[in-house]
Structure 1
Amino acid sequence: MATSELVVGVIFLSQTVIGVLGNFSLLCHYLFLYLIGDRLRSTDWIVMHLTVANILTLLCKGVPQTIAGFGSKDFLNDIGCKLVFSFHRVGRNVGVGSTSFLSVFQAIIMRLRNTRSSDFKVKIDRCICYSVYLSWLIHFFISSVNLMHMRAKFINESTIELKSFLYCYWDCHDRTRDILYAALLLAPDIIFLGFMVWASSCMVLTLYRHKQKMQQMPRNKMSAKSSPESRATKTILLLVCTFVSFYTLSSLCQLFGALLYKPSWSLVNVTAMASLLFPTVCPFLLMSRDSRVSSFCLPSFPKPSDDELN
């Protein structure tokens, strides 16, 4: 086994173990709160979907990449290749959608914080929740393409017309079809990124106006603490910025891999590492900003207000 393969295997193993443990801890805490009858916020439900998507991404990408990194290549059969790539694609895209819905929901909450119509807020809440469930169905449908074209390499089979992903292969007889499929995969990402940019811009503008308003108030009327909504907004903005950075890198790598007829070993591994960055970091970022979770899972972290997320 080459040293480079060993290093890559250790990196994938570290990302997978750390990410799965972090997301599983976060998910278990929310489930515990739900089982003891504690009222979960609307954003908590979205975060639960996000953690499930992260776990799916880490297991379906991290575990096979770790095995391949340690030297084993053809360890999956046709069914295994189809399922692993399909579920990874679903987990990744639902993670994109959940992060987008989280930012949009927070932006709407900030706009409606002075609205007394509870019925309208309930409708917005339900709309966002149904959208998350719908994103699961849509991405299951899009990922079904992997069931037709992803497969294992048969013994002594030529790889001239197969695009290698280290342990599985993509049947690439038609280059035009591959480009169309890459566009189909990127379309939801672009839409969700557009929603994130819009929601983030609205939140930043609202925070700026709030800061300007507070500066105009007499000092004795200014609160020493920021509002729960402001703290929650800053948490989600930090999450979105982290997401956009990591997933922009991941999307660019995937685009290059889809357009290249024979992607290199380095590009395939860098693409996989980039796709695991956000699922690995995301739960720890959320736990460190929510005192309900950090006091239970991360007792060494500083404890913000109980109303960290809405």
Structure 2
Amino acid sequence: MVKRKRTFSRFFDVRSAVFFEITIGISANTVLLLFHSLTFLLRHRPKPLDLTIAHLALIHLVMLVTMGFIAADTFEFQGWLDGLMCKLVIYMHRLMRSLSICTTCLLSVLQAITLSPRNSCLTKFKHKSSHHYPCCLVFLWVFNMILNTRFLVSIDATPNVTSHSLVFVTESCSQWPISYLFKYVFLSLVNIQDISFIGLMALSSGYMVSLLYRHKRQFQHLHSTYLSPKASPEEKATWSILQLMGFFMLMYISDCATFSSRATLWHNELISLCVQMLVGNAYATICPFVLMSTEKRMTECLTSMWKRL
């Protein structure tokens, strides 16, 4: 009896942490979205980087809102989602997860292009990026919307009958099995997309690290080694994006490891599900704080507001 109470108490604590993480993430992404949306609209020459950060904040905001619905239906046991709501909520959440990795990779590539010197082969993309960027976003949205249509087909409200082939997603929503052909086609496309974008992130991150290291060495040759170079806003933004890439890689690997180990390492299904949600939402929650740390105007405004409170 004591063991069951401890298990329930531990589950309640982890479940509360999930809702707390979602609330913090929604608030932070809302602030980041408003700031960069206004920056993009009010600038005479808006930068693709501002639009990318605003786009990423919007994706994470919708992703965390839908996760709030999923968590409420999973842990509160109310069973209030019908068939249409199940399809829309699960579909939007999976779509936002797919777009998150695409936009994160795009952010890394754009920063690498921005940081590249004049004699680099990436220089020609600096002017083209602003023209082709909207087309790239439209392509990513259309491709991922098509790629995730399998959830619109397979997700439905949980029926009253029991079936071994049924996969329970939440208390109200279940996933019906699809044919092996479509299953492997969709999984192959998803894996190819993830591997491609993670590979691009690794290449762009390595390129930015080499540029920053080269710039630091050149500065030390020109000035005394006792003087520490003052980082420019571009360098600060680059380091924050590099930290973001590293954190994304860590959370992506942890999410995959947590999902694969649920059946073997965890004895309590609800606690393992809570831990998986915590890991899966960590990037969307931490991301806005990393990006906000490089915005001097934003940090000053938030600090002054906090002092007034």
| Residue 83 of structure 2 corresponds to residue 78 of structure 1 | yes
What residue in structure 2 maps to residue 291 of structure 1?
296
| 1:230–1:31 distance in 2 versus 1, CA, 3 Å | closer
What residue in structure 2 maps to residue 52 of structure 1?
58
* Helix, strand or coil at the partner of 1:289: coil
What residue in structure 2 maps to residue 14 of structure 1?
20
Query: In 2, distance between residues paired with 1:227 and 1:55?
Result: 30
Residues 239, 285 of structure 1: 8 Å contact kept:
yes
Work out which of the residue numbers 158, 162, 169 in structure 2 matches 1:165: 169
Query: In 2, distance between residues paired with 1:39 and 1:202?
Result: 26
What residue in structure 2 maps to residue 307 of structure 1?
none
| 1:30–1:142 distance in 2 versus 1, CA, 3 Å | same
Query: In 2, distance between residues paired with 1:173 and 1:95?
Result: 25
Aligned residue pairs total 294
* Helix, strand or coil at the partner of 2:170: coil
What residue in structure 2 maps to residue 64 of structure 1?
70
What percent identity do the matched residue pairs reach? 26
Query: In 2, distance between residues paired with 1:296 and 1:186?
Result: 41
1:213-224 mapped onto 2 (5 Å cutoff): 213-219=218-224, 224=229
Query: In 1, distance between residues paired with 2:130 and 2:124?
Result: 10
Query: In 2, distance between residues paired with 1:249 and 1:234?
Result: 22
Query: In 1, distance between residues paired with 2:223 and 2:281?
Result: 48
| 1:254–1:190 distance in 2 versus 1, CA, 3 Å | farther
* Helix, strand or coil at the partner of 1:219: coil
| Residue 238 of structure 2 corresponds to residue 236 of structure 1 | no
1:1-310 mapped onto 2 (5 Å cutoff): 2-37=8-43, 39-72=45-78, 74-113=79-118, 121-155=126-160, 157-167=161-171, 168-172=173-177, 174=179, 178-219=183-224, 224-254=229-259, 264-299=269-304
Residue type of the partner of 2:86?
A: C
Shift of residue 61 of structure 1?
1.5
Q: TM-score, normalised by structure 1?
A: 0.83
Shift of residue 151 of structure 1?
1.3
| 1:38–1:20 distance in 2 versus 1, CA, 3 Å | farther
Residues 37, 51 of structure 2: 8 Å contact kept:
no
Q: List gaps (5 residues or longer) in structure 1.
A: 302-310
Shift of residue 38 of structure 1?
6.2
Query: In 2, distance between residues paired with 1:251 and 1:245?
Result: 10
Residue type of the partner of 2:98?
A: N
Shift of residue 108 of structure 1?
1.4
Residues 29, 58 of structure 2: 8 Å contact kept:
yes
Q: Quote the RMSD (CA, aligned, Å).
A: 3.0
Residue type of the partner of 2:30?
A: F
| 1:134–1:221 distance in 2 versus 1, CA, 3 Å | farther
Listed one character per residue, the Cα deviations across residues 256-287 of structure 1 (whole Å, up to 9, x for unaligned) are 679xxxx9444443332222111111111111
* Helix, strand or coil at the partner of 1:92: helix
Residues 165, 268 of structure 1: 8 Å contact kept:
no
Shift of residue 180 of structure 1?
4.6
Residues 200, 237 of structure 1: 8 Å contact kept:
yes
Shift of residue 68 of structure 1?
2.0
Q: TM-score, normalised by structure 2?
A: 0.83
Residues 109, 204 of structure 2: 8 Å contact kept:
yes
Q: List gaps (5 residues or longer) in structure 2.
A: none
Residues 150, 169 of structure 1: 8 Å contact kept:
yes
Residues 216, 229 of structure 2: 8 Å contact kept:
no
| 1:89–1:250 distance in 2 versus 1, CA, 3 Å | same
Listed one character per residue, the Cα deviations across residues 200-224 of structure 1 (whole Å, up to 9, x for unaligned) are 0101111111122222223299774
